[in-house]
Structure 1
């Protein structure tokens, strides 16, 4: 085995995904950068026509006071509704106009689900930036590689791994507005063929009122947040050809809730927790690399609303428990057939199940003065789904600058039949600077277990939502300048909606738009900016009524701009200023009504400063919404005015 092959295997044994370790470019879009998410094995960006953004470790370190969702919000085409609200708020990810639940979250290349929800959204409150090495955002339908829910794209959160010296230690402490405190500590290293990493983070905040007080005189209480997170991984190089790895993550947070938009509730609380554990291996066999992953994931949520002392005065008591469990196993191989041909082939298996219990007591609406109670439950013995898939792709590369990625996936489900998806992804690179790219792909989003088994299930069953997506654009990269422009369009059918009596496949949905991105680094200065235009409609069919078409961009702005400028003022001092403008959006009101909230369009201006004392010590301060704008990220819920975080980071 060659030294290069040995080094490649060592990287594989160190993580569940392979990625370049040293990125000094803050733009994250150089064509010679090595990425993993686009193909499930390492390739240079120049060889793939898929649209991929990278948030590097350097960018994350210059976001010391931000949560993960705030960092994602700076990317073109990405909107995380709730990122500007209280910690613990629902974080809904929208990419390129697609709805919530249509972007798949990966952790080290493994799908992260919450099977117990009405959508399979993974709660990004359960992940902290201190545990993250880098993030790859792959846009467009990715169901051929990653299966259900990868309709608009995937976000691959790559966690830190051990490397370098036998022992490294780090600690971060920060505090700021609303009684917020974050502390993290970790150790990592590499001893011979063993690499390890252990991280712990604690985050707490007194918060503000989650619900917005329109008068300022409602005496709404502050809704606090308290979280603990532990992450650990280890890898072992067994032989020159074979490596093993294991990972574990546990996170739990508790938070106070309110009664809804503009509605305070002093007795409503919840806690959420997530446990993930996985093992994997990589084996080199000639020109082939064989990979195996197994992951167990469980998410539990508990809600308690206790105003039982005043039931006959409009109060209530309710408790709800949701638990989702999933098993994921993946076996695949990438083969270098020649310098012009790579082949990927694999299979995966998924098993998901849920438990749910709801109990409540309240005053009977129809018989005032009398008490009404209810109890519902779903059992994992019957509320489960099994999925099997086989997939393959062929990458033709370096054919005089032309590259072509072709892929297909066969999906079989025990509850709703079979689905086939495909992807066709050509690109052309000229003079290592200019890339033309296009993508045509299909995708799907399977019904959730709640939609299949809840009291609102459809007795005739549900079909997966289907999509066809297209993208095309141009990218230019030279001497610190990176430019990219792309157009996207997506058509969806068999959209699952709640029609009042239950879930049905009724809607058709169309979305289109374009993104323009620019990044430039000149001496001590760096500039980044992006503009996204998104438009969309949904066509719904009533019972015998004429089809109705209307705008459906709920919580997704038609116009979105991010711009920032940074300066390395001295060897140790870095300063930056960032502007974000969000156009008007419509709000999906419960019951099907749609409306526009006052002040729904807004801008925020943020500032950041850090000073480094060598490589070991850093002081930083992060100032958000400097002009103290009053706005709604989600109508009826408080978005932060001016706030800040400041702290210290130590690396030994």
Structure 2
């Protein structure tokens, strides 16, 4: 059966580089196991952390919004201030986007000039993307600050066959939404080249529930990836991204005239060198986020990041491998022309051990030397143990931190001297496989954060919150193949998020997602999904409950030829009225139709 549902992979952090931007993206098919190329690679059977993978078919079902495709994953929720283009935050295990690292083709794309260093998923469209990977759990020992909840790694379209190839997509739907995407590439034994363009325009719907005018969005996007094998020992490459968009939003209940122009641009170059048993990787990346809000208290936000990195790798034996490296990062923020900056130098190491065929151990240690704070150590240890041929036990423990953003420290609402937040996290999971028919997974997680930084109404500034913030819960997921044509998947997440005994805002206590994938014929496939969210509180100051809701989506795809398909997606089939942020609308019933051709 052609599976168009989100696939869940459980992978060890050991297979990831200490610097994602220092890696080229390679995918290997090894029998039935899918392994993502990277630092200290491992197989799917030898894993210590939870990975969720959303492929191009899953992204197609989610429409233009990547956030909608991510929101159905276990342990993930979405808080959106309206429709496509508005401010949207992905929460992982109860923690918002402030604690989530985001990279596109190895380029770190969180905004150094935003209120809290984070990425706006409301403006990430799916047209040029091939795969989105979510790595859950603290990744500070690998990636430093802003990765307490995990990391989202995005890969744009790449050619999958030798020679010239490409993909083109056209889509039209509700709210006068138009999407056009074109990707072209070339691949042989020495060259890999991919270039993609996308354009999205929508009239949208009113962001706030208090008025009725449409809040539109338009954005153009371009992505580039190129790599060349200079010699048998040396490979060089470059990746680049650019987007230019305008988002309408409602500034307040009485002012619906808000509009933001935003340009994102990034470039990364890398060199990979192999010398005997050693592998070396060198990279340099630059990123800029330029955002302008003509009616804002602060109008111009410009964030810049420059990063240089080295990673070395060596297999010590058939059962052990070692990685180590250094990186340097400089971040700048310009707020209405006033500039601030900070830098960080880090050293890290990673080791992987397989003392027995049924056991894999990995450990990471990182030290960050900030220009304005005391140094921070972070570590992580993980194991995967095959208790039986059908059952695998996984566990990990890690420490992490989040450095205060430049805006929190120097912006118009800066206050007392801020120190980095610190965290500790633990998860324990069990996976049981029943042949090729079914798989069941259960993962318990616990995260605690000290020195939380929040806006204080008492001081009208950002300040450290006394006490400890805790997010803990349980993720359950599974799949069952009833036949070659019919399969079912589902996941449930229970999350309890509290700060000094008070509940965290916008964290669902209960999330349930169920889906059925039915191949009606060899050419026609359908997916029916229902998502239920319950027990959420929100508000500014006093938190009150949001209404529980259930959203049903239906999608169908018909293969016109082996390389061309037509598809239709019906979102919110029952026209449910609901909120993920108090006072802001979500989409009613919406229909989208499209055609996609590979060549």
Provide TM-score, normalisation by structure 2. 0.92
Residue 636 of structure 1 and its aligned partner are, at CA, apart by 0.7
**1:303 Cα deviation (Å)?**
0.8
Match of residue 475, structure 1, among 431, 438, 443: 431
Q: Contact between 1:126 and 1:273, CA under 8 Å: does it hold in 2?
A: no
The answer (yes or no) to whether the contact 2:491–2:513 under 8 Å persists in 1 is yes
The structure that has the greater radius of gyration is 1
1:432 positional shift? 4.6
Please, which runs of 5 or more residues in structure 2 have no aligned partner? Answer: 1-20
Deviation at 1:45, TM superposition (A): 2.3
Distance change (3 Å), C-alpha of 1:319 and 1:98? closer
What corresponds to 2:277 in structure 1?
287
The correspondence of residues 58-97 of structure 1 with structure 2, limited to 5 A, is 58-61=57-60, 63=61, 65-82=63-80, 85-97=82-94
Question: Could you say which residue in structure 2 is the equivalent of 1:636?
Answer: 583
**Which position in structure 2 is the counterpart of 1:352?**
331
Which structure dedicates a bigger proportion of its chain to strand? 2
CA contact (8 A) 2:171 2:178 kept: yes
What SS does structure 2 have at the residue aligned with 1:101?
helix
CA distance in structure 2 between the aligned counterparts of 1:303 and 1:128, rounded to whole angstroms: 21
Match of 2:227 among 221, 235, 245: 235
**Cα distance in structure 2, aligned partners of 1:238 and 1:34:** 25
- Give the CA deviation at 1:146: 0.8
Which residue in 2 is equivalent to 1:33?
A: 34
Match of 1:537 in 2: 498
| Alignment partner, residue 470 of structure 2 | 510
The match for 1:43 is 42
Q: Distance in 1 between matches of 2:518 and 2:301?
A: 48
TM-aligned CA deviation for residue 319 of structure 1: 6.5
Q: Which residue of 2 aligns with 1:616?
A: 563
The superposition leaves residues 235-270 of structure 1 with CA deviations (integer Å, 9 ceiling, x where unpaired) of 11101111011011110110211123xx25343211
Aligned partner of 2:103 in structure 1 is 106
* Map 1:151-190 → 2, pairs under 5 A: 151-190=148-187
Alignment partner of 1:129 is 2:126: yes
1:296 pairs with 2:286: yes
Distance (whole Å) between structure 2 residues aligned to residue 267 and residue 580 of structure 1? 33
Change (3 A) 1:191 1:439: closer
**Residue pair 1:392, 1:407 contacting (<8 A) in 2 also:** yes
Alpha-carbon displacement from aligned partner over 1:115-147 (angstroms, at most 9, x marks no partner): 001111112244332322222211111100011
Deviation at 1:192, TM superposition (A): 5.0
C-alpha displacement of 1:163:
4.5
| Whole-angstrom CA distance in 2 between matches of 1:428 and 1:243 | 35
After superposition, the C-alpha distances for 1:16-41 in whole angstroms (9 at most, x for unaligned) are 444435599xxxxx7x33135xx744
Q: What residue in structure 2 maps to residue 198 of structure 1?
A: 195
Counterparts of 1:239 and 1:400 in 2: how far apart (Å)?
A: 35
Corresponding residue number in structure 2 for 1:557: 508
Distance 2:521 2:513 in 1: 26
User: Are the counterparts in 1 of residues 367 and 376 from structure 2 also a CA contact under 8 Å?
Assistant: yes
Note the C-alpha offset of 1:92: 0.7
Name the residue aligned to 1:646.
Answer: 593
Q: State the alpha-carbon separation in 2 of the partners of residues 204 and 398 from structure 1.
A: 55
Q: Is the 2:290–2:303 Cα contact (8 Å) retained in structure 1?
A: yes
Q: Structure 1 stretch 555-564 or stretch 163-172: which is displaced more? A: 163-172
Report the CA distance between 1:398 and its aligned residue.
5.7
Tell me if the contact between 1:15 and 1:161 (Cα under 8 Å) persists in the aligned partners.
Answer: no
Partner-residue secondary structure (3-state), 1:386: strand
Secondary structure of the corresponding residue to residue 110 of structure 2:
coil
After TM superposition, give the deviation of residue 634 of structure 1 in Å.
1.4
Aligned to 2:517: 566
Structure 1 stretch 502-511 or stretch 569-578: which is displaced more?
502-511
Q: Is residue 142–residue 443 contact of structure 1 (8 Å, CA) maintained in 2?
A: yes
* Pair 1:593-2:510 in alignment: no
- Residue ranges of structure 1 left out of the alignment (5+ in a row): 1-13, 25-29, 306-316, 358-376, 540-548
Structure 1: distance between partners of 2:22 and 2:309: 15
**Alignment equivalent of 2:351, drawn from 382, 390, 394:** 394
Paired position in structure 2 for 1:439: 396
The correspondence for 1:246, drawn from 224, 238, 257, is 238
In structure 2, the partner of 1:320 is 299
TM-score (normalizing by structure 1):
0.84
Name the CA shift for 1:529/1:567 in 2 (closer, same or farther; >3 Å).
same
Distance 2:389 2:157 in 1: 31
1:454-533 superposed matches below 5 A: 454-459=411-416, 461-477=417-433, 478-500=435-457, 501=459, 502-507=461-466, 508-521=468-481, 522-533=483-494
8 Å contact kept, 1:106–1:112: yes
Shift of the alpha carbon at 1:596?
A: 2.2
Instruction: Return 96-105 or 126-135, whichever deviates more.
Output: 126-135
| Correspondence for 1:369 | none
> Could you say if the C-alpha distance between residues 196 and 318 of structure 1 is closer, same or farther in structure 2, counting changes exceeding 3 Å?
same
Write out per-residue CA displacement over residues 37-72 of structure 1, whole angstroms, 9 at most, x where no aligned residue: xx74432122221111222344335x2635211110
Q: Deviations over 1:548-602 (max 9, x none)?
A: x3112x111000011100111111100110000011211131xx222224x3x10
